[in-house]
Structure 1
Amino acid sequence: MPEAISGLHHVTAIASDPEENVDFYTDVLGLRLVKKTVNFDDVTTYHLYYGDGVGSPGTILTFFPFGAGQRGSVGRGQTSATAFVVPEGSLDYWQERFDDHGVEYDAVEERFDEHVLPFYDHDGQPLELVTGATDIEPWDGSDVPVEHAIRGFHGVTLLSADAEATVDVLETMGYERLEETGHRTRFAGAGDRAAFVDVLDDPEASTGMQGAGTVHHVAFRVSDDDAQMAWREELAETGLRVTPQKDRRYFRSIYFREPGGVLFEFATDGPGFDADEPLAELGSELKLPPWLEADRESIERSLPPLAAD
């Protein structure tokens, strides 16, 4: 059997306005914009990556900001929340910060002996801050005090359209069932970072609709190409339809849709976000892969300007 999946690599979501997206995730949440590139499958749209100071696997939230397109609605068959880790004692700070920035949030709740602050971004995407510990050092280039700063992902919640089948896939991936409460069952990967996946089994929930404010896919970590190809073979043998490997410049990927409706990706740890710019300059310029450089002029004309440009 291939190596067990340790946790998340990244989460990719859909947004509306790219400028508002940058403002929210850098100015409000205090994350670093680690890469500004384009959607390789639709070069008229940015692909924006946020994370810690170097874009470590397990910290990266990415967006396709499609502009004034269709608004999504979160429901069955989708990721219903993406959760970040913050240190114990930080939620009061974040509630005050959200008040200052006009961010919508819900009351703090207790879940599996953790404190959870649910909130929403500018497009209404459900997010959470969860108290805990991780090996990630936070980005220290924002005005968020380091002692309260986000330290990568805690995990994701999947509102599955077929919870039993989703669980089967997670267990094939080496995820271990930990505990459950109500409709929620928690699973953990083999690592200490971004390890948790919660599965919700709520047949009364409405079916989700993809659009701004929803997650496009969830990516899990694999160490390298060999591990990825071993997983591709393993998953295909279970009957899942897995794509060929795709070069995403900063990692390589395979994709499949698990039976509960969520698009999964397995992404390699390397080559990393310093493949085309120094760490000190991450996110400062529009970066294109070599196969798109010849079209740079037309691509730049098609993209809306960002204040950071």
Structure 2
Amino acid sequence: MQHSLLGIHHVTAITADPQGNIDFYTGLLGLRLVKVTVNFDDPGSYHFYYGDREGNPGTIMTFFAWPGAQKGRQGTGQINATAFAIPQASLSYWLGRLIEKGIKHEGPITRFGEQVLTFRDPDGLVIELVAHPGELERPGWDNGEIPAEHAIRGISAVTLWEDGHEETAGLLTKTMGFRLVSEEDNTFRYELGAGGAGARVDVRNAHGFWRGAVATGTVHHVAWRVANDEAQAAWQEQLDAQDFNVTPILDREYFHSIYFPEPGGVLFEIATDPPGFAINESVERLGTQLQLPPWLETSRPQIERALPQITYPQVGGRRSKAEKTQE
């Protein structure tokens, strides 16, 4: 297809603890909090975006914050693990950091020829660090705690669990432009373009395993990148013509989106690279205060009253003891 997918844009999951989520992803993992906003479909709840210094597509992990929501169940029809890319030489650094912070982990194990560390965030979400050989495309962000040379470079891949993978494989290869590159332990690896970190999806055939339930501690969806609105419109038209249950194009302010379920039940999104996260605050000030889309600004007082207080990390990664959403 002329308007090819470029890789992973972001992964969105669900947390029950807004402050604990911020502390884990900015503190332990050293990601930058690049945007604090609300779920546009549920303005009474936070939507956090983490990534590199500028919030480049492919580095973004996002969370809907639903305090008090029920715990999800990981199973088939779901993204079971989100993998972040680290340099191969940084594996021992991260292993030491997990041990130092008392984070229970597994590995490193070898998978598809790469070393992988696996652990869980405070909500039970499965996180992986994959040590990639050679140079990674993006530089590390020096946030003041984790040295830039060891910093997470972005999302490497996601792992889908499917109760029978054939229809999902057909969508990936016949429609979305992926190619099968490897198979290991009943898991199939697919890549886009030149492949590598950020252009992968692993599909595990977990036939007979229980069905997953999306709630806190699970992934809500994965978004794939396209270059612009023209490419997205072409995808929307093609998916609609193939009778996928695809949404209209939606304005998410920092990108435009369409959504559709893949045959196994995982929610896919196709998101544009532009306009990016610096449209309503400077790169230097990303993620330092609550941002609302124009159509919700008139409701700011009510929204701020409904949201729980959070303490923001300072610009540069160190925490602010005083900055909060409300005084």
The CA deviation at 1:96 is 1.7
CA deviation profile, 1:189-217 (whole Å, cap 9, x unmatched): 12555011000001132211111110000
Q: Percent identity, please.
A: 49
| 1:18-37 superposed matches below 5 A | 18-37=18-37
Question: Which residues of structure 1 form unaligned runs of 5+?
Answer: none
From 140, 143, 164, give the equivalent of 2:142. Answer: 140
CA RMSD, Structure 1 to Structure 2 (Å): 1.1
| Residues in 1 aligned to 2:164 and 2:193: alpha-carbon distance in whole angstroms | 24
Task: Look up the match of 2:130.
Answer: 130
Task: Look up the match of 2:161.
Answer: 159
- Contact 2:85 2:197 survives alignment (8 Å): no
| Residues in 2 aligned to 1:21 and 1:129: alpha-carbon distance in whole angstroms | 18
| Residues in 2 aligned to 1:281 and 1:12: alpha-carbon distance in whole angstroms | 22
Which amino acid is the alignment partner of residue 188 of structure 2? T
Please give the secondary structure, in 2, of the residue aligned with 1:230: helix
- Contact 1:162 1:259 survives alignment (8 Å): no
Deviates more, 1:100-109 or 1:21-30: 100-109
Which amino acid is the alignment partner of residue 14 of structure 1? I
Task: Look up the match of 2:45.
Answer: 45
| Residues in 1 aligned to 2:63 and 2:181: alpha-carbon distance in whole angstroms | 30
Task: Look up the match of 1:197.
Answer: 201
| Residues in 2 aligned to 1:134 and 1:82: alpha-carbon distance in whole angstroms | 18
Does 2:220 match 1:213? Answer: no
From 173, 180, 183, give the equivalent of 1:180. Answer: 183
Task: Look up the match of 2:65.
Answer: 65
| Residues in 2 aligned to 1:262 and 1:290: alpha-carbon distance in whole angstroms | 31
- Contact 1:27 1:142 survives alignment (8 Å): no
Question: Which residues of structure 2 form unaligned runs of 5+?
Answer: 313-323
CA deviation profile, 1:89-110 (whole Å, cap 9, x unmatched): 3222212211222222112110
Which amino acid is the alignment partner of residue 123 of structure 1? D
Which amino acid is the alignment partner of residue 136 of structure 1? R
- Contact 1:228 1:266 survives alignment (8 Å): yes
- Contact 1:47 1:65 survives alignment (8 Å): yes
Task: Look up the match of 2:235.
Answer: 231
Does 2:88 match 1:88? Answer: yes
TM-score, normalised to structure 1, is 0.97
Task: Look up the match of 2:315.
Answer: none
| Residues in 2 aligned to 1:153 and 1:296: alpha-carbon distance in whole angstroms | 32
Please give the secondary structure, in 1, of the residue aligned with 2:107: coil
| Residues in 1 aligned to 2:50 and 2:73: alpha-carbon distance in whole angstroms | 23
Distance 1:95 1:46, change over 3 A: same
Which amino acid is the alignment partner of residue 83 of structure 1? A
Task: Look up the match of 1:170.
Answer: 172
- Contact 2:15 2:66 survives alignment (8 Å): yes
The CA deviation at 1:165 is 0.9
